[in-house]
Homo-oligomer: A and B are copies of this chain.
Amino acid sequence: MRIVAIRECAVAINSTQRNSRFDFRSMDTSVVAVVTDVVRDGAPLCGFAFNSFGRYNCSAMIRDRFAPKLLAADPAALLDDAGTNFDPARAVEVMLQRERSGGHAERCIPVGTLELAIWDLVAKVEGRPLYRVLADRFNGGQARDVVPVYVGGGWYAPGQTPADLAREMKGYLAAGYRMVKTKIGGLPLAQDIERIQTLLELVGGGQALAVDANCGFDRERAFAYAEALAPLGLRWLEEPCDPMDYALYRELSEVYPHALGNGENFSGNRELENFLLYSGFRPGLDVIQVDPPLAYGIGEYVACLATARRHGFGPESMYPHGGNLMSLHVVAGLGLAACEAYTGVFGIFSGFGEEVTVADGHATLPESPGIGFERQPALWSVMRDLAGVH
């Protein structure tokens, strides 16, 4: 039982949308296929993943630095003790040989993406959907039956009118979502507040609406938005400022009475630990949004959960960023708060595929073995070609 090939390709996300800081027209992500010598139904068993959204592809790092380490390793070093399945933690250990301390962002994305693909393999070897495997290993066997989901939407788009935004949001509600998130900071404050007021009427109140500044505010603007947003009782205010400006987060948490969110730009457990030590983040209120493939993978995410717990934050504080199907399994298997959904905005990576249905703000779970990319047709056609399986 061994990995025989690792293939990757970079795929454009094909989006002209904007957040508070930039547009996404050059954004892409890496798709990876880990091909094994295990044969199922006459074809080699393959694990798949992609590196979520927002940090560009990591193809060269996979191809030149991390895949060669996995392929050069003693195959037994990548298996569990019984030798009957792959072991994602051991794969990470192999990938981190001869790597320096600190500077995690340099490598946490390719390592995390490969780790996710190996989890896809692990679950396929067990013949079960990934969330059930994760529940057994890390959550006492308890998996969510359905998963609370919310839509990451409300981007700024060229020529967008208030009616366009309302139409977008109505579409999410019609599709079964109950909570949505919208971008802020791409317009002057007064216009942003108007946008939000329109959306509040549509979704029926602040607890169904979060806002996301994508780290776009300096100190003055962060406080101005915090003051203007406070009366609205929104679900959370995400990334108001530099994600590593612990001191400013602390000050904001002292004046803003509702939830703050941060974490999608953390490179793993050490950055989360420092953030929780120094930022004044408030247990039971603020939300943590680490994205597994962007931060060393699911094993590191489980370490993040333990760190969060030591600082008073339980699974109800955990809202993984992006990742679509990957995050859906993590939320279901580890019993977390909710999963973000990018429904139609990121090309072939959009949505949860044809096995998942959304109703009344909750998503059902895929029952295919593994992550279930095989049932997400546009993405699967790229993955299938990459792996050379049909």
B-binding residues in A (CB < 8 A) = 21-24, 26-27, 54-56, 59-61, 64-65, 97-106, 109, 214-215, 239, 242-247, 265-267, 270-271, 274, 277-278
CB distance from A75 to the nearest CB of B (A): 20
| B-side contacts of A26, CB under 8 Å | 98
CB distance from A257 to the nearest CB of B (A): 24
CB distance from A222 to the nearest CB of B (A): 13
Q: Other CB < 8 Å A-B pairs besides A103-B267, A105-B105, A245-B270, 11 of them?
A: A21-B100, A22-B97, A55-B100, A55-B103, A60-B61, A101-B239, A103-B266, A105-B267, A106-B109, A242-B270, A247-B277
| B-side contacts of A105, CB under 8 Å | 102-106, 267
| B-side contacts of A98, CB under 8 Å | 22-24, 26-27
Contact A102 B244 (CB under 8 A): yes
| B-side contacts of A266, CB under 8 Å | 102-103
**Given A55-B106, A274-B274, A277-B247, A101-B242 contact (CB < 8 Å):** yes
CB distance from A313 to the nearest CB of B (A): 18
CB distance from A92 to the nearest CB of B (A): 15
| B-side contacts of A24, CB under 8 Å | 98
Contact B101 A214 (CB under 8 A): yes
Contact B102 A215 (CB under 8 A): yes
| B-side contacts of A54, CB under 8 Å | 100
| B-side contacts of A271, CB under 8 Å | 102, 244
Q: Which 5 A-B pairs have the closest CB atoms?
A: A60-B60, A101-B215, A102-B265, A103-B105, A105-B105
| B-side contacts of A274, CB under 8 Å | 244, 246, 274, 278
| B-side contacts of A244, CB under 8 Å | 102, 270-271, 274
What residue of chain B has the Cβ atom nearest to residue A55's Cβ? B100
24 contacts between A and B (CB under 8 A): A21-B100, A22-B97, A22-B98, A24-B98, A54-B100, A56-B65, A59-B60, A60-B60, A60-B61, A60-B64, A101-B239, A101-B243, A102-B105, A102-B215, A103-B105, A103-B265, A103-B266, A104-B105, A106-B106, A106-B109, A106-B267, A247-B277, A277-B278, A278-B278
| B-side contacts of A59, CB under 8 Å | 60
Assembled-state Cα–Cα distance A106/B59 (Å): 13
| B-side contacts of A55, CB under 8 Å | 100, 103, 106
Contact B109 A215 (CB under 8 A): no
| B-side contacts of A22, CB under 8 Å | 97-99
What residue of chain B has the Cβ atom nearest to residue A56's Cβ? B65
| B-side contacts of A246, CB under 8 Å | 274, 277-278
Contact A21 B247 (CB under 8 A): no
